[in-house]
Amino acid sequence: MPPASDGAFAAWLARSVGEMLQGLREEMGFGDPDALREAGDKRAHDMLLTELSRWRPADAVLSEEGVRDDPARLVNERVWIVDPLDGTREFGEPGRTDWAVHVALWSQKTLALTAGAIALPAAPQLLATDPRPAYPSLHPDVASGGQFRIATSRTRPPAFLPALAEQVAAVLVPMGSAGAKIAAVITGQVDAYIHAGGQYEWDSAAPVAVAQTTGLHTSRIDGSALIYNRADPSLPDLLVCRADLAKKLLSALSQHG
């Protein structure tokens, strides 16, 4: 039986699906990466919906892999926002660890993320709101005056980001899935993650829930709040960073974003 609290349940569910996906990778191998990716997306989605239906039957679900959107989510007080396999491209590439499983709970009553977990099974790593991670330590290189680090997409980086990085004296770190990039901010591997140009709610909900719990800054790139469970699930831009960098980055984004 899974844990009772929503945060611990999210962690249990993300970890369980991640372990299944890691086993699928080993079972199928990488000879046909497209088949592996397709199987991973489907099996992870099916497992998430099965467990949520079993253990949280009254709640609504918004999933990337859902064939049809659940209309109940717009009126239900509790909505699970899940990405069964974040970083499908990386999942199908041998040796890559930057893919993830996202599980988040949104309260339509308080308009807030109340629980979340990111599993990175190939790392292996599990970050969740319960137990809450510690606020990340400042990297020694940054503490001694070196450049801070901004995670960015390795395939679709915002066009303005190199100029912004030069302005704020930062180095860009290309990475895979959104979950892996936000996890890197949470653990202190990088200091910020900036995205613009297209994402959906399931790409960021769970990682943002964990980042908020640790005390990191999370917002749209114009500084406005991240709101989930809207009729249109598009959420095209995002800033997650150390709290002390938020003012500097938002100021730069106002010029470049």
Pick the CATH number of 140-256 from 1.10.150.20, 3.40.120.10, 3.40.190.80, 3.40.50.10490: 3.40.190.80
Residue ranges covered by each domain of the chain: 6-128, 140-256
CATH class of 6-128: alpha beta
Compute the distance between CA of residue 257 and CA of residue 245 in angstroms, rounded to an integer.
16
Locate the DSSP E strands across the chain. Answer: 60-63, 78-86, 100-107, 112-120, 125-128, 148-153, 170-175, 192-196, 217-219, 237-241
Q: Output the tens digit of pLDDT for each of the chain's 257 residues.
A: 899 899 999 999 999 999 999 999 999 999 999 999 999 999 999 999 999 999 999 999 999 887 567 888 999 999 999 999 999 999 999 999 999 999 999 999 999 999 999 999 999 999 999 999 999 988 777 777 789 999 998 878 899 999 999 999 999 999 988 999 999 999 999 999 999 988 999 999 999 999 999 999 999 999 999 999 999 999 999 999 999 999 999 999 999 86
Fold agreement between 6-128 and 140-256? no
